[in-house]
Amino acid sequence: MDIASLTLTEARDLIASKKISPAELLDALRARAEKLNPLLNAYNHPLWDDAAERAAKCDTSGPLGGLPIAIKDCIVVKNQPATAASKILEGFVSPYSATVIEKLEAAGAYCACRTNMDEFAMGSSTENSAHGPTRNPWDTERIPGGSSGGSAAAVAAGIALAALGSDTGGSIRQPAALCGCVGMKPTYGRVSRYGLIAFASSLDQIGPFTKTVRDNALLLTHLAGHDPRDNTSLRDSADDFAADLTCGVKGLRIGLPKEYFVDGMEPEVSAAIHAAVKHLAAEGAEIVEISLPHTHLAVDTYYVIAPAEASSNLARFDGVRYGRRCTDPRDVLDLYERTRGEGFGREVKRRILLGTYVLSSGYYDAYYLRAQKVRTLIRHDFTEAFTKCDVILTPTAPTVAFKLGEKTTDPLKMYLSDIFTIAVNLAGTCALSLPCGFSEKHGKPLPIGLQIIGRPMDERTVYRVAHHYEQTTPWHKKHPKLDFVTS
């Protein structure tokens, strides 16, 4: 059996027909991961023995019966470590599970290994991790994207059938694009955030990574739904997201925002996106030019709002009740200062300082309040655009995966990696990235991602367009060549 190319749906059918057991599937994934993960570092907590116990107890009659799902290290699972890739949470083991974990287990799936990430989800390359950087399976000298880079790399490398990530400004879609898999950021409130270690509470959303669009729709169907423990959870948010997959694109209006098709993209990225537009038009979609006029303000707005919320959320990590604690503190102030100074990484400290500054007396109105007003304008841009089209199509990232260390000394360059994804989080709507081609100019093929943005609560149309594009193009059939054995 070729574990590397097995999809979630195929694995489910094999288990249901008793051609393979959950234990056999897990053993095959483990064997592959033990060869590949020492180089990739996609898993920062490879909990294979715990996963085996969970596999033995899972309900194979459920819709996800017997399927192992990799979990980003900021989503808590009972009796598993949850460090958010930070030294400040070293040694912490969660006493409870997130709602999404409960939902997966109710559907018959179980939690396998925990995936590496940028510390507290702050980053675009998975280099800001206390557990070391993750490498891209297509070229191990390059980054996998971030902050959910471990999840994307695990799925792309075939050491996970599917994985969960979180998306605050592109942290599912951007690594999905750079690793050549499918990643969905659902509508804000569609999936419960209960049990997600918070970065920016008004932006964070949990979503799935998979090898195919069908797998993604299947997984989201069992993640979504109202949760009374999350006061931002939307009512009537459950749906069968695979219901419209085979309806095609004929007659659908696809909007192209002129602000996203400007100079600055790598030529091969631009060419792949334009080829995707041409392909969808040939398949019967109507292409409509639209405008999202406040796009140029999205990055600035995000880097006021997100750090402000992070500054508040991360105040709870102080060494008093759990996680890292400095040795022999002189007093409470010394405990706080040294614990946080030793526990938080450079990028997290930078964003806490920035967030504290914009919330401070004398600057709140000038920065935070103004950013919230611009956020409203960005949301209105999308509302207006969707009167003219059914989905919006853009690049996911302006470049392919860049080399490890290439942007770590220039935060602004790193922040601009998410220039095409941030506005979706500010607007609270849904978007998906899927492969639409490869760049061949870097010595090895590097994936290019196509972003499809939908109306709030209209993931079904996004999946419909994505599935049709996927099934009428060859890109999802390509896999990275990782046929080596590490020492």
Quick check: helix, strand or coil at residue 127?
coil
Element (H, E) at 450: strand 446-454
Return the axis-axis angle of helices 8-16 and 213-221, rounded to nearest 10°.
Answer: 70
Element (H, E) at 151: helix 149-156
The answer to whether residues 450 and 469 touch, using CB atoms and an 8 Å cutoff, is: yes
Burial class (CB in 10 A: 0-12, 13-18, 19+), 183: buried
Strands of the sheet with 446-454, listed across from one edge = 43-45, 110-115, 68-72, 163-167, 205-210, 182-185, 430-439, 446-454, 391-395, 253-257, 286-290
In the residue annotation, 201 being an active-site residue is answered as: no
Question: What is the chain's length?
Answer: 487
Chain CA centroid to CA 258, Å: 26
In the residue annotation, 124 being an active-site residue is answered as: no
| Bridge partner residues of 42 (DSSP) | none
250: Cβ–Cβ under 8 A, 6 or more apart, which residues? Answer: 283, 284, 285
The answer to whether residues 395 and 451 touch, using CB atoms and an 8 Å cutoff, is: yes
477: Cβ–Cβ under 8 A, 6 or more apart, which residues? Answer: none
**Where do the H-state alpha helices sit in 297-438?**
298-313, 332-343, 346-359, 370-385, 411-415, 422-427
The answer to whether residues 193 and 121 touch, using CB atoms and an 8 Å cutoff, is: no
DSSP one-letter string for 263-318: BTB-HHHHHHHHHHHHHHHHTTPEEEEE--TTGGGHHHHHHHHHHHHHHHHGGG-S
Quick check: helix, strand or coil at residue 192?
coil
| Bridge partner residues of 444 (DSSP) | none
Element (H, E) at 115: strand 110-115
Return the axis-axis angle of helices 346-359 and 298-313, rounded to nearest 10°.
Answer: 100
CA dihedral 407, 40, 345, 199 (to 10 degrees): 90
In the residue annotation, 147 being an active-site residue is answered as: yes
Residue 204 backbone dihedrals phi, psi, to 5 degrees? -60, 140
Q: Count other Cβ atoms within 10 Å, centred on residue 368.
A: 19
Which candidate in 147, 148, 166, 192 is catalytic? 147
Which candidate in 97, 148, 166, 171 is catalytic? 171
User: Which residues participate in catalysis according to the annotation?
Assistant: 72, 147, 171
